C-alpha cells in the first residue's frame, strides 16, 4: 500500500485506529496530526514512543477480546531519521496487528525493515533490521508468538518512492507488515 504523502498516511493510520476502538494517548504530536487525536480512555499505550515491556503489557488483554479475522489494513509504519523507536502515533497500528496475530495463531508475518537512501548500503541493511526488530519486540511484548514473526531487512534497496528529499526519505524509513 502506498500513499501520496506522509501526512496522509499518518491521518489514515490514525482514523483506522479510531475505528478499531484503539488509539494511543500521550506522546508528542506531529504537525500533521492536528486535533484528530482523541484516544479512547484506557486502551491507549501510555508514555513515549520508546518500546518498553511494562508500558504495553496492560492493554494486551483487552485487545484480545476484540478478536477479528481481518488483517489490519495499515501495514506500514514510519520512523524518524536514524532512529528505531516506535513513534507513539503508530503504537495503535502495532496493537491492532498484535491482536490479529494472537487471534490467528496460524498467521505469519514478515516484518520488512527499510531505511532512506542516506548512508552506506550495508550499514543501512543493519539499520533496517534494527527497525524491524523494534517492531518484533513490541509485538512479542503484546503476546505474539515469536514463531509467527520473521524479520527481513531491505536496507535502502527497495524505496517506496524515489527522490532525494525529506518527503521521500520520510516515506522510505519504514517497516512493512507482509502477511
Partner 1 sequence: MKALMTTWLSALLLMFSTLAQANLTIEITRGSDRATPIAVVPFAADGENLPEDVAQIISDNLQRSGYFEPLDRQAMYDRPSSGDEVQFGQWRGLDVRYLVVGRVSREGDGFRIRYELMDVSGSRRMLGESVTASRNELRGGAHYISDQIFESITGIRGAFATRIAYVTARGAGDDMQFALYVADADGHNSQEVLSSREPILSPAWSPDGRKLAYVSFETERPAIYIQELATGQRVRATSFEGINGAPAWSPDGRRLAMALSKDGQPEIYIMDVASRNFERITNNNNIDTEPSWSPDGRSLLFTSDRSGGPQLYRYTVGSGETERLTFTGNYNARGRFAPDGESIFLVHRSNNGYQIARQDLGSGRLVVISESRWDESPSVAPNGTMVIFATQQGNSGVLGAVSADGRASYRLPSAQGDVREPAWSPFLN
Q: What is the DSSP letter of 45?
A: P
Nearer to partner 1, 8 or 121 (CB): 121
Q: Cβ of residue 170: shortest distance to partner 1, in angstroms?
A: 15
The span of 12-20, 29-37, 46-54, 162-170 binding partner 1 (CB under 8 A) equals 162-170
Residue 161 near partner 1 by CB under 8 A: yes
Residue 154 near partner 1 by CB under 8 A: yes
Which listed residue (56, 127, 139, 170) binds partner 1 by CB under 8 A?
127
Please, where are the H alpha helices in the chain? 6-19, 53-57, 60-64, 91-103, 121-141, 166-172
Residue 122 near partner 1 by CB under 8 A: yes
Nearer to partner 1, 100 or 154 (CB): 154
Which listed residue (130, 140, 143, 148) binds partner 1 by CB under 8 A?
130
Long-range CB pairs of 156-162, under 8 A, 24+ apart, other chains included: 156/114, 156/115, 156/116, 156/117, 156/118, 156/119, 156/121, 156/124, 156/128, 157/121, 157/125, 158/112, 158/114, 159/114, 159/116, 159/117, 160/2, 160/76, 160/114, 161/2
Residues that bind partner 1 (CB under 8 A): 2, 117-123, 125-127, 129-130, 150-154, 157-164
Amino acid at each position: 500500500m502506498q500513499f501520496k504523502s506522509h501526512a496522509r498516511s499518518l491521518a489514515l493510520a490514525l482514523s483506522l485506529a479510531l475505528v478499531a476502538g484503539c488509539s494511543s494517548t500521550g506522546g508528542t504530536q506531529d504537525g500533521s496530526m492536528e486535533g484528530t487525536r482523541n484516544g479512547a480512555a484506557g486502551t491507549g499505550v501510555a508514555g513515549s514512543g520508546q518500546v518498553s515491556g511494562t508500558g504495553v503489557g496492560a492493554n494486551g488483554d483487552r485487545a484480545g477480546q476484540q478478536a477479528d479475522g481481518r488483517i489490519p489494513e495499515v501495514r506500514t509504519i514510519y520512523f524518524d531519521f536514524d532512529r528505531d523507536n516506535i513513534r507513539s502515533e503508530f503504537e495503535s497500528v502495532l496493537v491492532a496487528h498484535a491482536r490479529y496475530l494472537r487471534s490467528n495463531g496460524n498467521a505469519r508475518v514478515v516484518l520488512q525493515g527499510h531505511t532512506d537512501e542516506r548512508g552506506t548500503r550495508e550499514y543501512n541493511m543493519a539499520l533496517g533490521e534494527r527497525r524491524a526488530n523494534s517492531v518484533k519486540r513490541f509485538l512479542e511484548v503484546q503476546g505474539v508468538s515469536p514463531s509467527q514473526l520473521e524479520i527481513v531487512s531491505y536496507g535502502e534497496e527497495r524505496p517506496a518512492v524515489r527522490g532525494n528529499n525529506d518527503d521521500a526519505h520520510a516515506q522510505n524509513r519504514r517497516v512493512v507488515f507482509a502477511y
